[in-house]
Amino acid sequence: MLNLIKEMKEVLPKGRVHDNPALIDVYAIDASFYKPKAKLVVDAENLEDIFHILEVCRKHHMGVTFRGSGTGINEARPSGLAPG
């Protein structure tokens, strides 16, 4: 897990990779009954960010769940990472 965090911090600007458990819990909650447990939250701002996020996650065999800011646009899926 530490390698995943380190690599994610290398590909994204400072302040956009969050491994604080309290913040992760906030991002994992929406209006659904499903309560996934993310291991990391990252803020993607463009397609290049998403490319790098997916590349690092694939290398570490980590699933990805995209969050629609509580809009209900994205379906909840089990995974270990929740881009914010």
Domains in the chain, ordered, with CATH? Answer: 2-83 (3.30.43.10)
Please give the backbone phi and psi of residue 64, each rounded to the nearest 5 degrees, phi first. Answer: -130, 135
* pTM confidence score: 0.72
- In tens, the pLDDT along 8-59 reads 999 999 999 999 988 888 877 666 666 667 889 998 888 999 999 999 999 9
For helices 2-11 and 47-59, the axis angle rounded to 10 degrees is 160
Q: What is the pLDDT of residue 39?
A: 85
